[in-house]
């Protein structure tokens, strides 16, 4: 801010521009002082809270309020108690004249031709360096796309004879789960694995409508489905025991447990893949084989409904 | 436009103070909520007199739908063989009795005293002695809250949400909020599987793990720390985003308006003159 008027002479100190902006300066001053006082109180409160080992709530609250009032005080001071202006400072024009422009062009055209000669070999080598660099720079870019998935989309760690194992390492025996309950299980060599997570549900034996070819997959009313939703891969973990529905928390797909986990509502395009089970001689539940289809959401190579 | 200063300032302050106040008061009510542990070791209402009292309460409040012998009817399920835990859970959380027989069960204050609830539960249990789940004894000493959290996250949070606020299920069903329940209620729900909720013990949880979950729910879900002040019900990013965008950005806009607004004592003619561009 310069205290000069538009004609370059200093603004007299009794000019209207030097009056404070507030209509009632005394009131504005009181208000500004009040803001700073609130700031003082808040900062003091912060000190007290710190000294008393106060919670983050009080530490952050007092510090935040203190800084807010501190800033508000400055803004109020600047807005209401400073000269209201406006003041102007003259400056020179910055446009170039047509003569100056013409002189620059002439100079460049005449002297430039002399300075930069045609050097074909150097130009070629320079282009080679630039070209090689552009190609090599692609390598890390391509590598950052990661390895090809190969058959990772098609298989899970579930194998023939794998034990159904809970997250705490317990193997599930046929007598462990009451009817109406469910357990999240993994193969024993991949406990906690995201691709392996499988929901084991004990329904009333005979309540299952078995799909052709799956007659032996659900012994004693136990059925196991991949917990990875066929829509976008969320864990389908909401089981309603009375309605026999599995719900996906992300997009509200509903799967009918008794009927091969067919989707009856929501965006899921396919049933959840079912894991074939059997009960071994010791009464433990085990997998007959791994999943017979890719689990989770669709992908291009899978074909069919994505 | 001086007159905007006070309203804007007051609004900003009110928002900030309001959030602080609600945060504090919410925390206060949460921590003031008692979660008594009900012990079955209390022999109280198993005497003949208390069983008679339980039968009378049942006849007055429950038999219309569940039948005089608690065997159920077209309106309501058979209660025989479920055990006292189920009765205690449904009655002490206010889910039962229903206001009208066709209503959906909702959480409301317990209609009965603690003693009456136990008399009811023990009378139903006395119809089938030794059958069903008895009201569990809860002892949270030595419970591992960290394991409880892991188990809660894996087994309970899918429906009840990670803050225990509850959430919608299919067809108008609802996973009930866990706030304001007793430790015994949590243990009863885990062991009986009320309504659409699957039984979690036995099965998904061991007895120790079930006790850890009860400890986690009683200590953390019932007493959320809400370090930011206002918990907003723990219902997730929609509520939090609304407050952040509407109140937070709104406050910033009001502040920016105040800072950038021209002060009022400008003489209109003079201001216009002085703003004319001038060249030397």
Q: Average the pLDDT over A103-115 and give the result.
A: 81
Contact A21 B193 (CB under 8 A): no
How many other CB atoms are there within 10 angstroms of residue A298's CB atom? 16
Give A-chain residues touching B175 at CB under 8 angstroms.
238
Tell me the two tokens of residue B25. Answer: 């008061």
Residues B265, A82 contacting (CB under 8 angstroms):
no
Cα-flanking dihedrals φ and ψ of residue A183, to 5°?
A: -140, 140
Taking residues A24-42, report their average pLDDT: 94
CA distance B165 to B234: 6
Indicate if the pLDDT at residue B7 is higher than 80.
no
Q: How far apart, in whole angstroms, are the C-alpha atoms of residue B127 and residue B135?
A: 15
| Residue B29 at interface with chain A, using a CB cutoff of 8 Å | no
Confidence of residue A303 (pLDDT cuts 50, 70, 90): confident
Indicate the helix (H) or strand (E) that contains A226.
strand A222-226
Lowest mean pLDDT among A4-8, A129-133, A205-209, B73-77: A4-8
Mean pLDDT of A141-155: 86
Confidence of residue A161 (pLDDT cuts 50, 70, 90): very high
pLDDT of residue B263: 66
Q: Is A93 in contact with B279 (Cβ distance < 8 A)?
A: yes
Are the Cβ atoms of A57 and B158 closer than 8 angstroms? Answer: no
**Tokens coding A61:** 């609250």
Smallest CA–CA distance from B204 into chain A, residue: A183
A285 falls in which pLDDT band (50, 70, 90)? very high
Question: What was the pLDDT predicted at A1?
Answer: 45
What lies within 8 Å, CB to CB, of A297 at 6+ separation is A228, A229, A230, A231, A232, A233, A306
Model confidence at B265, pLDDT cuts 50, 70, 90, reads: low
Mean pLDDT computed over A190-207: 89
Place of tokens 């992908």: A299
> Are A271 and A257 spatial neighbours (Cβ–Cβ below 8 Å)?
no
The pLDDT score that the predictor gives to residue B8 is 65
Predicted confidence at residue B236, as pLDDT, reads 79
Identify the pLDDT of residue A4.
55
Residue-level pLDDT at B16: 64
Residues 68-107 of B with CB under 8 A from A: none
Of the candidates A286, A284, A271, which has an alpha carbon nearest to the alpha carbon of residue A186?
A286
Nearest CB neighbour to B159, from listed A65, A93, A238: A238
Structure tokens belonging to residue A88 = 């102007």
Q: Which residues of B touch A237 (CB under 8 A)?
A: 158-159
Buried-exposed string B133-168: b where 16+ CB fall within 10 A, e elsewhere: bbbbebebeebebebbbbbbebbbbbbbbebbbbbe
Say yes or no for a CB contact (<8 Å) between A240 and B275.
Answer: no
Other Cβ atoms within 10 Å of A271 Cβ, number:
18
Alpha carbon distance A164, A184 (integer Å): 9
Token pair listed for B198: 């699957």
Contact B229 A237 (CB under 8 A): no
Best CA proximity match to B279, nearest among A293, A228, A73, A6: A6
Q: Which of the residue ranges A59-63, B28-32, B116-120 would you say has the lowest mean pLDDT?
A: B28-32
Cα of A21 vs its chain's centroid, Å: 47
User: What average pLDDT does the structure give for chain B?
Assistant: 79
Give B205-268 as a DSSP string: S-HHHHHHHHHHIIIIISS---TTS--GGG--HHHHHHIIIIIIIHHHHHHHHHHHSPPS---H
Which of chain B's residues have a Cβ under 8 Å away from the Cβ of A178?
193, 199, 202-203
Q: Which residues pair with A278 in a beta bridge?
A: A286
pLDDT of A118 strictly over 80? no
Q: Please list, in sequence order, all residues whose beta carbon lies within 8 angstroms of the beta carbon of residue A60, skipping any fewer than 6 positions away.
A: none
Q: What is the largest CA-CA distance in chain A?
A: 106
Please tell me the distance from the alpha carbon of residue B237 to that of residue A257, in angstroms, as a whole number.
30
User: Looking at residue B12, what is its pLDDT?
Assistant: 66
pLDDT grade for A63, boundaries at 50, 70 and 90: very high
If one compares B180 and B189, the residue with the highest pLDDT of the two is B189
State the pLDDT at residue B42: 52
Note the pLDDT of residue B25. Answer: 42
Mean pLDDT of A263-289: 93
Check residues B230 and A227 and name the one with the higher pLDDT: A227
Of B183 and B280, which is predicted with more confidence? Answer: B183
Residue of chain A minimizing CA distance to B5:
A76
* Interchain CB distance below 8 Å, A75 and B259: yes
Lowest mean pLDDT among A286-290, B34-38, B184-188: B34-38
pTM over 0.90: no
Contact B280 A90 (CB under 8 A): yes
Report the alpha-carbon distance of residue A64 to residue B20 in Å, rounded.
12
Residue ranges of A 63-82 with Cβ closer than 8 A to chain B: 65, 68, 72, 75-76, 79-80
Please compute the mean of the pLDDT values over residues B157-171 and round it to a whole number.
Answer: 88
Partner-chain contact A22 B2, CB within 8 Å:
yes
- Structure-token pair, residue A144: 């950052």
| Mean pLDDT, chain A, integer | 88
What is the enclosing helix (H) or strand (E) of A28? helix A25-51
């Amino acid at each position: 801010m310069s205290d000069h008027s538009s004609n370059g002479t200093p603004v007299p100190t009794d000019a209207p521009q030097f009056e404070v902006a507030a209509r009632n300066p005394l009131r504005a001053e009181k208000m500004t002082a009040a803001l700073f006082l609130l700031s003082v109180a808040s900062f003091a409160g912060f000190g007290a809270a710190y000294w008393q080992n106060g919670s983050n709530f009080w530490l952050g609250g007092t510090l935040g309020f203190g800084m807010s009032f501190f800033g508000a005080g400055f803004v109020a001071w600047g807005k209401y108690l400073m000269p209201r202006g406006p003041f102007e400072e003259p400056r020179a024009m910055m446009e170039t004249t047509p003569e100056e422009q013409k002189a620059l062009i002439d100079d460049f055209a005449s002297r430039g031709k002399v300075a930069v000669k045609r050097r074909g070999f150097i130009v070629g080598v320079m282009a080679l360096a630039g070209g090689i660099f552009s190609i090599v720079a692609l390598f890390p870019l391509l590598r950052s796309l990661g390895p090809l998935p190969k058959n990772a989309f098609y298989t899970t760690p579930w194998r023939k004879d794998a034990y159904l194992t809970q997250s705490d390492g317990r193997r599930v025996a046929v007598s462990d789960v009451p009817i109406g309950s469910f357990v999240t299980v993994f193969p024993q060599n991949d406990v906690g694995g995201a691709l392996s997570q499988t929901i084991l549900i004990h329904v009333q034996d005979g309540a299952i409508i078995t799909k052709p070819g799956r007659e032996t997959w659900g012994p004693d009313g136990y059925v196991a489905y991949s917990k990875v939703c066929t829509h976008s891969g969320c864990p389908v973990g909401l089981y309603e025991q009375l309605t026999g529905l599995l719900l996906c928390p992300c997009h509200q797909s509903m799967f009918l447990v008794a009927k091969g986990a067919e989707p009856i509502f929501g965006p899921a395009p396919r049933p959840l893949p079912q894991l074939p089970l059997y009960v071994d001689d010791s009464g433990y539940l085990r997998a007959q084989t791994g999943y017979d289809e890719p689990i989770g959401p669709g992908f291009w190579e899978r074909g069919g409904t994505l | 436009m001086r007159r905007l200063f006070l309203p804007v300032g007051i609004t900003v302050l009110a928002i900030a103070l309001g959030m602080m106040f609600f945060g504090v008061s919410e925390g206060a009510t949460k921590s003031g909520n008692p979660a008594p542990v009900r012990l079955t070791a209390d022999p109280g209402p198993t005497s003949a007199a208390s069983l008679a009292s339980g039968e009378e309460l049942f006849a007055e409040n429950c038999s219309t739908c569940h039948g005089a012998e608690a065997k159920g009817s077209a309106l309501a399920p058979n209660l025989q063989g479920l055990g006292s835990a189920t009765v205690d859970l449904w009655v002490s959380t206010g889910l039962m009795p229903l206001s009208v027989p066709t209503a959906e069960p909702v959480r409301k204050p317990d209609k009965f005293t603690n003693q009456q609830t136990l008399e009811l539960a023990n009378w139903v249990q006395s119809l089938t002695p030794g059958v069903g789940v008895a009201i569990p004894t809860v002892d949270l000493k030595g419970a591992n809250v960290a394991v409880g959290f892991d188990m809660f996250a894996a087994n309970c949070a899918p429906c009840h949400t990670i803050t225990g606020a509850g959430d919608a299920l299919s067809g108008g069903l609802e996973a009930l909020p866990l706030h304001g329940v007793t430790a015994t209620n949590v243990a009863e729900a885990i062991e009986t599987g009320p309504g659409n909720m699957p039984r979690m013990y036995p099965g998904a949880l061991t007895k120790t793990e079930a006790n850890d979950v009860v400890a986690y729910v009683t200590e953390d879900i019932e007493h959320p720390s809400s370090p930011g002040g206002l918990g907003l019900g723990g219902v997730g990013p929609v509520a939090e985003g609304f407050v952040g965008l509407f109140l937070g950005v709104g406050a910033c806009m009001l502040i920016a308006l105040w800072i950038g607004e021209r002060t009022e004592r400008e003489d209109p003619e003079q201001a216009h003159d002085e703003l004319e561009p001038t060249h030397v």
